[in-house]
Chains A and B, each alone.
Chain A
Amino acid sequence: MKHAPIFLAVAALGTAVHAQPDSWSTYHGDYSGRRHSALTQVTTDNVHTLALAWAFQTNLTQQVKSTPILVDGIVYLTAPDNLWAIDARSGRQIWRYQHPPNDAFHIGHRGVAVHGSSVFLTTPDAHLLSFDRFSGKLNWNVEIADSARGFWSTNAPLVIREHVIVGVSGDFDNLPGTLRAFDPATGAAQWTFYSTPPAGTPDPLSGGATGGQMWMTGTYDAELNLLYVGTGNPTPVLNGASRPGDNKWTCSIVALDPDTGELEWGFQISPHDTHDWDASEVPVLVDAKFGGADRKLLLQASRNGYYVVLDRTTGENLLTTPFAALNWSLGVDAKGQPIPNPAKEPARDGRLVAPDEVGATNYRSPSFDPATGLLIVSAADAYGVYFFKPEHGEYGWAGADYGVHSRGELRALDYATGAVRWRHDLHGGAGAAGVLTTASGLTFTGDSANSALALRTADGTTLWHAGVGRVGNSPVTYELDGRQYVLIGGGSALYAFALPEPR
C-alpha cells in the first residue's frame, strides 16, 4: 500500500511533553492523545519474533484496565485501591500502596500521573493522593469530591505545569459534572470547572440536567494553552423529559484554560443524550491538512457512533460522519451536531437503538498514525433496547436498558473523511483493548477473545499474536537499555514483550 504524501509529517504540537522513547510518562504517552511512538526497533519484519520479557501478576480478581506509566526505569501500574511501582527491567515490585477498604465503586482504574519526584493516584472514594515515587511514602491526601454523595474516581490525572487536573464519575446520582485542579506540591485546590451546575446555581444551558462527568484524561495544546476534555452523559440518565433542551455541557468536548478552568469553547456531540453515550473518548490532537489548509485539528470517534473533526483553536466543526451502526439521529445540523430522533428516546414499550449503552466505542484509547493518516479505533456495531416510563423517576439511571447484540471490529478511519480504510474482526463483542501505533508501521491492540495482537498499520494484517487472556488496557511502548518493550495487559496480569536478546 502506498502512502501518498497527503499527510505532512505531523508538526511538533508545541507541547511540553512529547512521547519520549525512553518513557511513557503520562496516560496518553504525551499531551496529544495520539498514542503513537517514534520507536522503530520492533518492525513489521521482526515482530513475529516478539517474546515475553517478564510478566507482573497483580493477584487480583480484576482485569488490568490501566495504562502503565513508565519514568526512569520504573513502571507505575494501578487497579482500584492499588498502586504498584515495578522495576521496568525485571517486572519485580518495588513498592505497593493499598488504599483502605471503602464502599465506592471499584469498577476500574486508568493510571497515575508523574511530576518531578511525585506520583499522583485517584481512589474509588474520590481522593487524590501524592506519593514520593521512589519510596512510596505518602506526601498528601485530599478529597476531590464527596464519595458519600455518589462520586467515585477512576481517573488518570493530567499534569499541566503546576496543575494536577483530575475528574470524577457519578452516574447513579444526580451530581454536577466536576473537574478540579490541585497544586502538585501541596494538594491545595486551585480551580473547579462544572460542566453542569452544582445545586443552587442556576444555569440556562443545562436545562436542569446534572452529570457530564469528566472521568477520562484530557489532552493539551501548549501553544494555545488549551486543555481538551470529553464530558459524560447527563443525569437522570434515560429520563430525558425531566431535563429539556440540549443539556450543555454534557456529551461534549470542552476546551478549558488550564490555569483558571474557564471555558474557552464547547462542542456538543450528543445534544440531549438519553442513551448513556459519554463523549469521554480521547480528543486526539493532530496538525494536518484539512480542506487544503494546514489546521490544528481535534479528532474524536465518539461513543454515539459519530466521528467528528473540529478546529481546536475555535471549536468549529469540520466533519461529523458515522463510523459504526447508528439509528438514533435524524441527521446532522448546520453546526455539525447530530439531531436526536425523539422516537428513539427510551419509552415505555422499548426502543431498538444502535449503538447500545456500551457504545460504538468507549474509553479505550484509539491511536493516530501520522504516516498513513489513520485513526485506529476499537468499534462495535451494537443494538440495545431502551425503556423509560414516569414510574422510573427522575433520579440516577431512571430507566432500563438491555444490550441485544454487539460485534466488535477494529476500524482504521481516514482522518480527513472518516472513511473506513480497513477493518479487523475482533471475534466477539465490543473490544476491551485500546490501540498503540509505532513509527515502524505497527499497531498493537487486543481482540475480544484471548489475544494480544500486532497488526500492520497500513492494512490491518495480523503479524503477531499472544494468547495472554483478554486485553483490557491500552498498550504502551518504551525503550530501556537499547531494547524496545511493549507492555500490554492480559487478564489480571501485565506482560512485557521484547525482541529476543542477541546470544
Chain B
Amino acid sequence: MPMRPPLRRAALLAAALVCCEPLSAQPPRSEESPAARPVPTSTAAQDFAPEVIAAGRTRFVANCGFCHGPDATGGSGGTDLTRSELVATDTRGDRIAPLVRAGRAEAGMPAFPTLAETDLTAIVAFVHDQKSKAEAAVGGRRSVEVADVLTGDARAGRQYFESSCTSCHSVSGDLAGIASRVEGLALLRRMLYPTGTGGVAARRPTATVTMRDGTVVTGEVASRDEFTIAVIEADGRYRSWPTDRVSVAIDDPLQAHVEQLASYTDETMHDVLAYLHTLR
C-alpha cells in the first residue's frame, strides 16, 4: 500500500464524517452551476496510488486541461470539476468514465471513445485527488459565491419582472420557490438563458411542419438546420424531413430571453436576480 500524503488522509476523514450526516442538512443543489456553491463533498471515499494520480495529471492536462484548467478548477469554457456534483457522486469512475467516453456534444465537450482504460482510470484518480485538495482549501480561483451576485434591489427587480416577464412566467406558478431550488450564479445563468443538463436549452422549441399534401405534424424540435427538420411527436415518435419539402413554423419560448440580453443593464440584471432570490 503506497503512502498517502497527509492532506489526502484529512480529506478522506472529512468525507467520511459528512457521509454520516443526514442528507437534509445539505443545502439544495442543482446541476447548472458548480461555481455558485461550496465544494460538494465526495460521497464515496476515493483511494488511488500516487503514481496513478501523477500519470492522470499528464493525461488530464493534455486531453482536458485547456477547457477544465490544468488543475481541474475550470479553464477556457469548461466547468470547475472540483465543484461538480457528478464528480462528488462518482465512485472510481462509475459516473465520470461514461461521460468522458460519450462526451457532451451540446455543451461542446468532445467524446473520448478510444481513450485507453488505464488513461481514463488515471484521469479519474487525478480529478478525485484535485477534488480532495479543493475540499480542504479555502476560497477558489474561479469561485462565485451566492452573496457575490446579490447586489441588486429586489423591489426594482419586481417592477421590472412584472413589466417584462409575466407574459410567460408566474411567481406563483413556474417560478414558485425557485430560489429554494437554484440560487446565486446558477440562478443568474438560468435567468439569462435557461439551460438544462449539458447546456441544452431547458425548453426546446416546438415546430409545426406542413407537408405538401396539407398534412400537419407538430412536435418538439429534435434538431433543425438549413437542410433538415426533425421533431419528436407527443407519442415519442421521431420524424424528419428535408426543409425544402415542407414548410416549418417554429415557436421558441426562449427567444424572449435572447432578446432580453441586448436590453438588460447590469443594474436591471442584478435587480431581477435579487427579486428572484426572494421567491423561496
Contact = CB atoms under 8 A, between A and B. Distances in A.
Interface string A367-397: 0000000000000000101010101110011
Interface string A395-427: 011111011110100000000000000000101
B185 A402 contact: yes
B226 A325 contact: no
Interface string A461-475: 010010100000000
B66 interface: yes
A105 B225 contact: no
Interface in A160-180: 171-172
A427 B230 CA distance: 14
Interface stretch (A16-24, A88-96, A253-261, A346-354): A346-354
B258 A405 contact: yes
Interface string A306-345: 0000000000000000000101000000000000000100
A387 B144 contact: yes
A425 B227 CA distance: 12
Contacts of A61: 110-115
B261 interface: yes
B141 A398 contact: yes
B247 interface: no
A403 B63 CA distance: 21
B141 A392 contact: yes
B76 A276 contact: yes
A63 B192 contact: no
A407 B227 contact: no
Q: Which of A393, A398, A400 has the most chain B CB atoms inside 10 A of its CB?
A: A400
B151 A349 contact: yes
A383 B76 contact: no
Contacts of B111: 61
B46 to A, nearest CB: 22
B189 A385 contact: yes
A451 B189 contact: no
Interface in B107-154: 110-115, 139-144, 148-151
Q: Which of B111, B193, B225, B262 has the most chain A CB atoms inside 10 A of its CB?
A: B225
Contacts of B224: 427
A327 B263 CA distance: 10
Contact of A397 (B69, B266, B269): B69
A348 B227 contact: no
A359 to B, nearest CB: 12
A8 to B, nearest CB: 35
Q: Which of A80, A354, A404, A465 has the most chain B CB atoms inside 10 A of its CB?
A: A404
Nearest to A448: B225
A248 to B, nearest CB: 24
Interface residues of A, number: 56
A107 interface: yes
A124 interface: yes
Contacts of A427: 224-226
A289 interface: no
Contacts of B142: 387, 392, 397, 399-400
B258 A352 contact: no
A105 B151 CA distance: 37
Nearest to B225: A449
Interface in A109-132: 124
Contacts of B225: 427-428, 447, 449-451
A72 B66 CA distance: 36
B93 interface: no
Contact of A385 (B69, B70, B139, B188): B188
B177 interface: no
Contacts of A105: 61-62, 65-66, 70
A357 interface: yes
Contacts of A63: 110
Interface string B251-270: 00000011001101010011
Contacts of A62: 110
Q: Which of A105, A354, A383, A397 has the most chain B CB atoms inside 10 A of its CB?
A: A105
Nearest to A237: B76
Interface in B198-256: 223-227
Contacts of B38: none
A358 interface: yes
B173 to A, nearest CB: 24
B58 interface: yes
B75 interface: yes
Interface in B62-116: 62-63, 65-67, 69-70, 74-77, 110-115
Contacts of B193: 404-405
Contacts of A5: none
A121 B269 CA distance: 47
A487 to B, nearest CB: 22
B57 interface: yes
A295 interface: no
Q: Which of B58, B63, B74, B264 has the most chain A CB atoms inside 10 A of its CB?
A: B63
B257 A405 contact: yes
B140 to A, nearest CB: 8
A383 B192 contact: yes
Contact of A350 (B66, B149, B226): B149
B62 A104 contact: yes
B226 A357 contact: no
Contacts of A450: 225
Contacts of B140: 391
Given A357-B76, A397-B142, A405-B193, A462 B61 contact: no
B188 A465 contact: no
A170 to B, nearest CB: 11
A397 B189 contact: no
Nearest to B199: A403
A327 B62 CA distance: 35
A400 B74 contact: yes
B35 interface: yes
A351 B185 CA distance: 12
Contacts of B35: 400, 402
A400 B188 CA distance: 14
Contact of B57 (A103, A276, A350): A103
21 contacts: A61-B115, A104-B61, A106-B63, A325-B262, A349-B148, A349-B266, A349-B270, A350-B148, A350-B269, A351-B266, A352-B261, A385-B185, A385-B189, A391-B143, A400-B142, A400-B143, A403-B77, A425-B226, A427-B224, A427-B226, A447-B225
Given A105-B65, A351-B266, A385-B189, 9 more contacts: A61-B110, A101-B62, A103-B58, A103-B62, A350-B185, A400-B143, A403-B77, A449-B225, A465-B227
User: 10 tightest A-B contacts by CB?
Assistant: A449-B225, A400-B142, A107-B66, A103-B58, A427-B225, A349-B151, A405-B193, A105-B66, A383-B261, A106-B62
Interface of A: 59-63, 80, 101-107, 124, 150, 171-172, 276, 325, 327, 343, 348-352, 354, 357-358, 383, 385, 387, 389, 391-393, 396-400, 402-405, 407, 425, 427-428, 447, 449-451, 462, 465, 467
